[in-house]
Amino acid sequence: MISVHYPEFGYEKEYDNVLDAVKRFEVMYPVALDNDGRTWRAYSQRFWPTTYLIDKYGRIRYQHIGEFTRGSDQTAVAAIQTLMAEPEPSN
């Protein structure tokens, strides 16, 4: 799991501010900074937050726009379980 942070406001571009937020919210996974919006544009991103699940071949297999709710979080869990059960790619 990785989070890609694209700042909406100027202060969100500052590394130390992002680091403080990561600590304050006890985020336990890596957070990449996308200050120039390169990743944002590569995914044709339009909404905060958006969650993607990317399979072992680099294909987007699941997308959720917005906060998770009781029903949507279970859909995401099922999608993760499906992807985790798939066999490893052969070389």
Encode pLDDT of 11-45 as tens digits.
999 999 999 999 999 999 999 999 999 999 998 98
What is the tens place of the pLDDT at every residue in 50-91?
Answer: 999 998 888 999 999 988 887 778 888 899 999 999 888 776
Distance (Å) of CA 62 to CA 1, 66, 67: 14, 13, 15
CATH 3.40.30.10 fits 3-85, yes or no: yes
Beta strands in the chain (DSSP E): 3-5, 31-33, 50-54, 60-65
Domains of the chain, residue spans: 3-85
Phi then psi for residue 26, to 5 deg, are 55, 45
